[in-house]
Every structure is written in structure tokens, then in C-alpha cells.
Structure 1
Amino acid sequence: MTVDGALARVIRSAADRAATAGTERCDLCAAVLADGHPHLYDTDAAELRCVCRACSVLFASEEAGRYRLVPRRRLRLPPVDTAVLGVPVGLVFFVPHRDGSVSAQGPSPAGAMRWEVDAAAWRQLAGTVEQLASMAPDVEALLVNTVRGLDEHWIVPVDDCYRMIALVRREWRGLSGGGYVWSAVEQFFKELTERS
């Protein structure tokens, strides 16, 4: 290969990288992702992975190993008395895990706050609300919003919960959050209604 040919290839490669900079790619195969792409939960790393539709099909089965496909179910529930879970926060989500543990996370200006929830209390609550017993471990959450007089309870994919945490972190101003963060949270819940 000539020096000119090698230089042209490097220039093309740099141009291709620049053109696709900011383009989101599949974490498994590097394909360009469409808006609204699926997610996988990596059980080993306890993280979400952005994936293309083709890769998501590979992991749709429960026997797919360390990756679990995040479902798209959004189900609004009647009010649920979550006081038994002992988390004194009005905007929080609860995630049951395969090992029987349950975690609660809530947004803050610094990101997610996390608590461990008494597993027996969760089982007691799930015994009274049948939809909670049907939740897919690690990838679905009970999302609760009782802030500012609201009383919303949803079963949602965990990626919705992480979007909510990012929204609060991005919009928070000052000590109390400022006026815009709460209207943004209200809009987030309106969009859940539209997507369900």
C-alpha cells in the first residue's frame, strides 16, 4: 500500500468517526441505534446496555445468560400503600431482584439514592397487590410518585426509572429543586400515561 493510500484511509476513517460522533451504538455489536431502542440488563455488571433490535432478539429468552431483555410493559396501578416498605421518599422506585432482595432508589441532585428494602415486607405487599407478584426481577420496577399531592403508582421498565433519575438531576436547581424540576416530573408521568 502506498503512503498516499494509507493516508487517504486514515482521513476517511477520521471523517467517518466524526460523522458518527454523537450517534448512539449498540453495546454488543456497535450497530447504529434508532431512537427508542431496546435495553438489556447485564446481571454481572448490574448495568443497562443499549442494544439494537437484532441483538435484543438474541436475549429475549429467560435462558439467555447474563443479559435480560428489559420489557416494555407500563401498567398504572391503583394507589399502593408502600409505607410497609419503610422508604420515606415521595418519588422512588422499587426493584425486586432474582436473589429475593429488593432495592429502592430515588432521584437526587447528585444522582440515585439507594436503599435495601426488607424482603419480607416486599413479599407481604406483593401478596396484597397481585400485579407486583408478576414483576420481572431486575428489569421491572414499582415506580411511586406521591410528591406535591400526587398518588401515582406504576409498574415500568427499569430504563424508565433511570430516565426519571437523569431528568431530576438535570433539572434540579438550588436546595429544594426549584420550580421547573417538579413540572418536569409531572410531564414525565403524563408521558408514561401516553406510552402505556
Structure 2
Amino acid sequence: MTMDGALARVIRSAAGRAATADAEACELCAAPVAGEHPHLYDTGAADVRCVCRPCSVLFADHEAGEGRYRLVPRRRLRLPPVDTAVLGVPVGLVFFVPRSDGTVTAQGPSPAGAMRWEVDAAAWQRLAVMCPQLASVAPDVEALLVNTVRGLEEHWIVPVDDCFRMVALVRREWRGLSGGETVWPAVERFFAELTERS
């Protein structure tokens, strides 16, 4: 999955654009969108699109648009600690996205953007047996977001746009080889500000 387009949009959004000249627009109808706005997952481009609320309503049904666009849900669910070691991904800040084709990807932030690995789908299924909430993760548009860096135990089911915001934050804050002094406090704030919502 290429995240350059989605990542660029998240970075622009997080940077605090000027209200007029740089205002973000719906990528379907070109209407202005609010700072907090819905997103569509474009299955053809494997990318996230910013949309206005009226356009998002058109895609509330998964069959709309012949399945090309899927509305990214807003659900956030905090989970108890999940033993993701069974998935074989050796990093502490990562998100796992089950795909419509049955595969599962893991992506972790880096100074250059997201790194991506394929995860054994059978291992994901075994993990879902141990943590039944994972069976409800909507393919392509929701993720298991994990942060075990610096002793934290953060495990969330979140919309993929939250994951892109986290990747953009790490990319923006990273300094030098080790990340510098600001990246990890910024990541901790990101997780502290996550709130559950249905």
C-alpha cells in the first residue's frame, strides 16, 4: 500500500493550514471540508481520500461506488494488552491492517514514512481467537494500533486515518538517528489523546 498521498494530506492537515488559501477540499466534489472530516479508502489506489460529510453519506453502504470507495469508520476501541509477538513483527510502534483479500500487513512509522511487512494471516487468526475483538476489525479501513515503546502498553482498534496521523507525527518530529528529544513525548501525547468512540 502506498501511503505517500495519504501521508502528505495528513502532514498538511496537521501542520495547521491557513483558513483560506490552503483550505482542504473534498476529493470528490471539491467542497471545503472541516478540520475534522470523514475519509474514504480508495481500494483501487490503496489510498485514503478526504471527503465532505454529504459525500461520505453516499458511501455508508459498502456496495456504493461498486466497492471502489469504503467509508473509514470512526470507531476507536481500547483493548487490554495483546500479545502481538505471535505476529513476528519486532517493533514496538506498529499497526496491523487485515485486508479484503485475506492478507494482513504490519506498518511501522519511520523518519521516511511507513515501513511495511506482510504478516502471517494464520497467526492473525490465532491472535483473533485470543482477543475476539480483533475479529471485528473492518478490512482495509481499521487497524490494530500498538505502542509498547518505553514501557507503554497501548493497544487500540482505530480507523486507518489515525494510523496515518501517527506516521505523519513521527516523520515530522524525528531528529537524527535515534529520533531526538521530541518524537517519543509526541507519540506519548498522541496516545494519551486517543479517546474511545463507537
Tell me, yes or no, whether TM beats 0.5: yes
Aligned counterpart, 2:193: 191
Structure number with larger C-alpha Rg = 1
Aligned residue among 152, 158, 163 for 1:150: 152
Give the deviation of 1:192 after TM superposition.
Answer: 0.4
User: Quick check: 2:77–2:197 contact (8 Å CA) kept in 1?
Assistant: no
Amino acid at match of 1:26: C
Give the TM-score, by structure 2 length. 0.87
Calculate the aligned-residue CA RMSD, in Å: 1.5
Change (3 A) 1:170 1:164: same
Whole-angstrom distance in 1 between the partners of 2:160 and 2:195:
16
Aligned residue among 92, 95, 101 for 2:94: 92
Aligned counterpart, 1:123: 125
Change (3 A) 1:154 1:184: same
> Is residue 2:36 matched to residue 1:33?
no
Aligned to 1:112, what secondary structure does the other structure show?
strand
Aligned counterpart, 2:138: 136
Aligned counterpart, 1:56: 56
Aligned counterpart, 1:182: 184
Give the TM-score, by structure 1 length. 0.88
Aligned counterpart, 1:23: 23
Q: How many residues align?
A: 179
Question: How far does the alpha carbon of each residue in 1:85-130 deviate from its partner, in whole angstroms, 9 at most, with x for none?
Answer: 0000000000000110000000000100000000110011111111
Question: Identity over aligned residues, as a percent?
Answer: 81
Whole-angstrom distance in 2 between the partners of 1:195 and 1:25:
25
Name the one with the larger helix percent.
1
Higher relative contact order (CA 8 A, sep 6+): 2
Whole-angstrom distance in 2 between the partners of 1:182 and 1:123:
31
Question: How far does the alpha carbon of each residue in 1:150-170 deviate from its partner, in whole angstroms, 9 at most, with x for none?
Answer: 011000000000000000000
Give the deviation of 1:194 after TM superposition.
Answer: 6.9
Whole-angstrom distance in 2 between the partners of 1:193 and 1:149:
20
Give the unaligned 5+ runs of structure 1.
1-18
Give the unaligned 5+ runs of structure 2.
1-18
Whole-angstrom distance in 2 between the partners of 1:194 and 1:132:
16
